Amino acid sequence: MNWIAWVLLLAVLALGAPRYFAASGFRWPLKQSLTSALLVAALALAGILAALGNHAPGAWQVPPELVIVASVAAATLGGGPVTETVFRLAAFKRARGHAGEDRDPDASPLRGGMWIGLLERAAIAATLWASWPEGLAVVLAVKGLGRFSELKQHAAAEQFILGTFVSVLWACAAVGVGRLISS
């Protein structure tokens, strides 16, 4: 079952990567929320199958180097659409809860978040694969210091916290699936 988990981990790459080509005019046919649901389902199913596959006799093993590269890439590329969906859900609830607020749910108080998120997830996955969990603190401290002046706005602080939690959880999940596949 490890090979199915491996294919699902690669599917996370295929589902997550097109989001980053939107600026070039590429249109992904699936809605953001559906893409995010498929990403979460693919990663979860890959983890379950990898955990079950490790107990099967004669399980096929994927070379660990390929698993590391694929899980870091899945952590990096797959987390963006999921984070954006969480932002939209939070903005929708905020807009419903405060009728007097006239805000554009797509307007972001923090700029450059896509690139910061990509780098953050890659760094988190790399530190976990390197067995250096202290690297998480370094990554998050650098991110917090870089955004310190912008975090005085309530909306920016909320977006920062949501984005950080989703990115960290996604990267940890991708590395966890990778470790299950390679064990």
Residue 93 identity (one-letter amino acid): K
% helix / strand / coil in the chain, to the nearest 5?
80, 0, 20
Q: Output DSSP code: residue 150.
A: G
More confident residue, 28 or 142: 142
Share of the chain above pLDDT 90, in %: 34
The alpha carbon of 147 is separated from its chain's Cα centroid by a whole number of angstroms, namely: 20
Q: Output DSSP code: residue 130.
A: T
pLDDT score, position 100: 43
pTM of the predicted protein model: 0.82
pLDDT score, position 151: 63
Domain that holds residue 109: 2-182
pLDDT tens for each residue of 27-43 = 777 788 898 999 999 99
pLDDT score, position 101: 45
Domains in the chain: how many in total?
1
